[in-house]
Chain A
C-alpha cells in the first residue's frame, strides 16, 4: 500500500490549484486568492472532496475563459490522468455566478489504507506541514502557493470518520506527514451474525450443561439420601 498512496492530498492541492487558476495567468488583480479544500474520509477509507473558491470580478472574468467552466469533462479527464494511482468518481462542478464562486466535488476511492484490526493510515505528500487541530476528528493546514505568478492561500481541512479515535500525526521514513487513526474493525469486526449465533449456541450449551449437571447432582443427592435413610 505504500507506493499506492504515495501521492496524496498535497498533490491534489497542486493539481486542483492549477485547474482552478487556469487562464488566470493574465489576471492583473493582485488580490490573493483563497481556496478551501474540505476532505471527509468515510469508514471505508474513501474521501469526498469539496473544493471551493470565491473570486473577485476580474478573477471571475478570467476564470470563465478556462476549461473548468467551458469543458468540465476535459477537466475531469485531466484530473484522472494526472492522478492515475487513484480512482476518482462523482465529479461535479457548480458555478455560483451571482457570488462569483465555484465549487468542485468528487470522491477519491481508497485514499486511506486499512491496516487491519481497526487501524487506518492516511499519508500526505507534504513534508512537515503545519497542522492544527480543528475538531476531535478534524485537522487543518494552511499554506501559500504561487501559480502563474499569483499568490494563492490554501486552507485544507481533513475530517476523519465519525467516531475515529487515536488520531495521531507523525512522519514516514521520507519525512512526509502520516496520520494514523482507529475506526471500526477491532473487536467489532468479530460480531458477525455467525459468530453471534455460534456464541449464543455455546452459551446455551453451557447453560444446558450446568442445568443438567445440577439436576443430575440433585438426583444423586436425593438417591444417596434415600439410601442413607433406608439403611
Chain B
C-alpha cells in the first residue's frame, strides 16, 4: 500500500490545485459609483428611460472592473430606495467579466406614480448591492449614497457639477423637463379643455387639418381659433399673471437655480399663473385638442405656441395682464405680440444663443419624454368647476337650432335712412344701470335680459322701427376695456363681428366707438363704461342706419 502513497498524494494535490479557487473568496473588483444628486418627481417617467438624451437622467452609474486574475461569474448589480422602491431591483449588467474587463451598469429606476404626490423636498438613500462569484457563497459589496427628491412642482435647472459649468446653456439644461408638466391627460385639464371647446369654441374642433391631413389655410385658421379660445378662456376666468417661488439650492457638487412651477391644474383652479405656468396650461389644452404644442423659452420668459407644418404660431399668454404687466391684451393682440417675440427668438436662436430654446412637445414625447400621471383631486376640480360655471353658454349651437335660426332670420333689416318724426322729447323716460344714468324716448319698449346668452346685457330699449337701440350692461370685469372685450366675445359667439376702439373719456366714463356686423346688417354704436359695484357698468347706443340722429344724440348727451 505504501507504494501507492505517491500517486495518491499527487492526485490529491492535483485536485487541490484545480479546486482551491472554489474555496477561496472571490477576488475583489474595482467599483466606482457616479450618483445622481437630485430627482425631480415631475420627470419620474424620464428617469426610467435610457434612451432620453443619451441616458443622462439616471439614478446612478456603476463602473465595475474585474481586477482579479480569473473570470468573474454571476455578477449582479441590485439597488433599492427605501420608501420609493423598497424591493431589491436588478440593474441590467454583464454577468461575466474577464480579468481586466470593465462593465458599466446604469440604473434607470421605475419610480412609482405616488412620487408625484410629494409636495416637499426630502432626503432619500439609494442602497446598492453587488454580488458575484459562487452562487452558493457569493461575494457581496454594498454601497449607498444620499440624494434629494424635490417637490412635484420643482424644476432644478441643471444637474451639472459647478466645476463643469461654463456657458449660459449649462445653467438651464433641465428646462427640457418642462415637457413633463404638459398634462393633457390630467382629468382636471381634460375637463377644462372640454369646457373651452364646448363653451368658448362652441364645440368646433380646432385640431383641423385638411381632409387628407395636409395643412390648409382653413386648418390654420381653426388652429389659431383654438389658441385664441384658450387665451379668451383665461381672460374670461379673470386669470391673472403672478410670480411664483424660485431660488438657488445646492445638490451635491451642483449649485442650481430651482423654480416652483404650479401645474396646469393648479393654474386653472388658482386662476393665476407665471409665464411658464400659463405656457404649460396652453400647451396642455392644445395637446388635448390635438394640436402640436410648443413652448418658447427665452431669457426670463416663456410663451406657448403651436407648430403647423414647418411654421410656428406663438401667442403671448401673459397678455391677460396682472400687477406689473400693464393692460390686458385681446387675443388678437396676444397673437401679434407672440409673433413679434418669435422674430427675436429666430434671430437669437440662429446665432446659437442657448438661452433661446424651443420645446416641441410632440417631438419630445416621441423621444421618450412623458407627462406625469396625476390623480383626480376633488378640491382642485371643485375650484375649477366654480370658474367654469362663470363662463357663458355658447350660442352658436343654440342658433343652429331651427326655431332659433328662424327667429334670427326674421330679424329686422335696415331701412332707407329717413328723417323720422316719431321721436319727441316730450315723453322721455329716465333709465339707469347702477351708477350710470341716461334718458330715452318713452315710446321705446324695454326688454329686460333680451338675449339669454348674454347675461350681462341687463336691458335694451328698442325704437319702434327697430333701427335704434339703447342697451345697458353690467359685466363682472376689472375695467371698461375688459368689459367691452367680454361683450365682444359674447357677441362674436353669436356669429356677429364686432370691431371697436377706445375713443376717449367723458364724465369719468370710458367711451368706445364701434360697429357690429352680421348678415348684411351693420350696427354703428357708441358705448360708455365705468367701474361700478362688483364690476363694470355700461350703456351702448346704436343704430343700423335709420332713426332720428337728434334723438340718438340726445340719448348720448344724457348719459352721466
* A interface residues, Cβ below 8 angstroms from B: 1-4, 6-7, 11, 15, 23, 43-46, 74, 77, 81-87, 109-110, 113-116, 184-185, 189, 192, 194-195, 197-206, 208-209, 212, 215-216
In the bound complex, do residue A198 and residue B50 qualify as a contact, i.e. CB atoms below 8 Å apart? no
Instruction: Name the residue of chain A whose CB is nearest to the CB of B56.
Output: A84
* Size category, B interface: 35 or more
CB-CB under 8 A from A212, the residues of chain B are 3-4, 6-7
In the bound complex, do residue A198 and residue B16 qualify as a contact, i.e. CB atoms below 8 Å apart? yes
Given contacts A74-B166, A84-B55, A205-B7, 14 further A-B contacts (CB under 8 A): A7-B51, A11-B54, A45-B102, A81-B54, A85-B50, A110-B103, A114-B101, A116-B95, A194-B17, A194-B18, A194-B21, A195-B17, A208-B6, A212-B6
- Report 16 cross-chain contacts, Cβ distance below 8 Å, ordered by A residue: A1-B92, A1-B93, A3-B108, A4-B94, A44-B100, A44-B101, A74-B166, A84-B106, A85-B58, A87-B102, A109-B104, A110-B102, A189-B71, A189-B98, A204-B7, A205-B8
Q: Which of B1-44 contact A (CB under 8 A)?
A: 3-4, 6-11, 13-21
CB-CB under 8 A from B7, the residues of chain A are 204-206, 208-209, 212
Query: With A189-B71, A194-B18, A201-B17 in contact, do A114 and B98 touch (Cβ < 8 Å)?
Result: yes
Instruction: Name the residue of chain A whose CB is nearest to the CB of B2.
Output: A212
* B interface residues, Cβ below 8 angstroms from A: 3-4, 6-11, 13-21, 50-51, 53-56, 58, 61, 63, 69-71, 73, 92-98, 100-106, 108, 160, 164, 166-167, 352
CB-CB under 8 A from B70, the residues of chain A are 192
Instruction: Name the residue of chain B whose CB is nearest to the CB of A204.
Output: B10
In the bound complex, do residue B61 and residue A84 qualify as a contact, i.e. CB atoms below 8 Å apart? yes
In the bound complex, do residue A116 and residue B73 qualify as a contact, i.e. CB atoms below 8 Å apart? yes
CB-CB under 8 A from A114, the residues of chain B are 94, 96-98, 101
Assembled-state Cα–Cα distance A44/B97 (Å):
9
Query: With A1-B92, A205-B14 in contact, do A85 and B98 touch (Cβ < 8 Å)?
Result: no
Instruction: Name the residue of chain A whose CB is nearest to the CB of B65.
Output: A109
Assembled-state Cα–Cα distance A215/B4 (Å):
11
Chain B: minimal CB distance from A89 (Å): 10
Assembled-state Cα–Cα distance A173/B549 (Å):
82
Query: With A4-B92, A198-B17 in contact, do A85 and B97 touch (Cβ < 8 Å)?
Result: no
In the bound complex, do residue A2 and residue B54 qualify as a contact, i.e. CB atoms below 8 Å apart? no
Chain B: minimal CB distance from A148 (Å): 11
Of the candidates B16, B55, B100, the one whose C-beta lies within 8 Å of that of A7 is B55
Chain B: minimal CB distance from A113 (Å): 5
Assembled-state Cα–Cα distance A116/B103 (Å):
13
In the bound complex, do residue B14 and residue A204 qualify as a contact, i.e. CB atoms below 8 Å apart? yes
Assembled-state Cα–Cα distance A162/B70 (Å):
21
CB-CB under 8 A from B71, the residues of chain A are 185, 189
Most chain A CB neighbours (cut-off 10 Å) among B58, B92, B94, B103: B94
Chain B: minimal CB distance from A121 (Å): 10
Chain A: minimal CB distance from B130 (Å): 14
In the bound complex, do residue B61 and residue A198 qualify as a contact, i.e. CB atoms below 8 Å apart? no
Chain A: minimal CB distance from B133 (Å): 14
CB-CB under 8 A from A208, the residues of chain B are 6-7, 10
CB-CB under 8 A from B20, the residues of chain A are 194
Of the candidates B13, B93, B103, the one whose C-beta lies within 8 Å of that of A201 is B13
CB-CB under 8 A from B58, the residues of chain A are 84-85
In the bound complex, do residue B3 and residue A216 qualify as a contact, i.e. CB atoms below 8 Å apart? yes
Of the candidates B3, B14, B15, B101, the one whose C-beta lies within 8 Å of that of A215 is B3
- Smallest CB-CB A-B distances: 3 pairs: A201-B14, A198-B17, A205-B10
Chain B: minimal CB distance from A62 (Å): 12
Instruction: Name the residue of chain A whose CB is nearest to the CB of B10.
Output: A205
In the bound complex, do residue B14 and residue A202 qualify as a contact, i.e. CB atoms below 8 Å apart? yes
Instruction: Name the residue of chain A whose CB is nearest to the CB of B63.
Output: A87
CB-CB under 8 A from B4, the residues of chain A are 209, 212
Instruction: Name the residue of chain B whose CB is nearest to the CB of A117.
Output: B96
CB-CB under 8 A from B51, the residues of chain A are 6-7
Most chain B CB neighbours (cut-off 10 Å) among A46, A84, A192: A84
CB-CB under 8 A from A184, the residues of chain B are 98
In the bound complex, do residue B103 and residue A185 qualify as a contact, i.e. CB atoms below 8 Å apart? no
Assembled-state Cα–Cα distance A198/B50 (Å):
46
Assembled-state Cα–Cα distance A54/B103 (Å):
34
Chain B: minimal CB distance from A193 (Å): 9
Of the candidates A2, A15, A115, the one whose C-beta lies within 8 Å of that of B92 is A2
CB-CB under 8 A from A115, the residues of chain B are 94-96
In the bound complex, do residue A85 and residue B101 qualify as a contact, i.e. CB atoms below 8 Å apart? no
Instruction: Name the residue of chain A whose CB is nearest to the CB of B103.
Output: A110
In the bound complex, do residue A85 and residue B54 qualify as a contact, i.e. CB atoms below 8 Å apart? yes
In the bound complex, do residue B18 and residue A195 qualify as a contact, i.e. CB atoms below 8 Å apart? yes
CB-CB under 8 A from A84, the residues of chain B are 54-56, 58, 61, 106
CB-CB under 8 A from B352, the residues of chain A are 23
In the bound complex, do residue A110 and residue B104 qualify as a contact, i.e. CB atoms below 8 Å apart? yes
Chain A: minimal CB distance from B65 (Å): 9
Assembled-state Cα–Cα distance A110/B73 (Å):
16
Query: With A1-B94, A44-B98, A116-B96 in contact, do A7 and B54 touch (Cβ < 8 Å)?
Result: yes
In the bound complex, do residue A15 and residue B54 qualify as a contact, i.e. CB atoms below 8 Å apart? yes
CB-CB under 8 A from A195, the residues of chain B are 17-18
Instruction: Name the residue of chain B whose CB is nearest to the CB of A196.
Output: B17
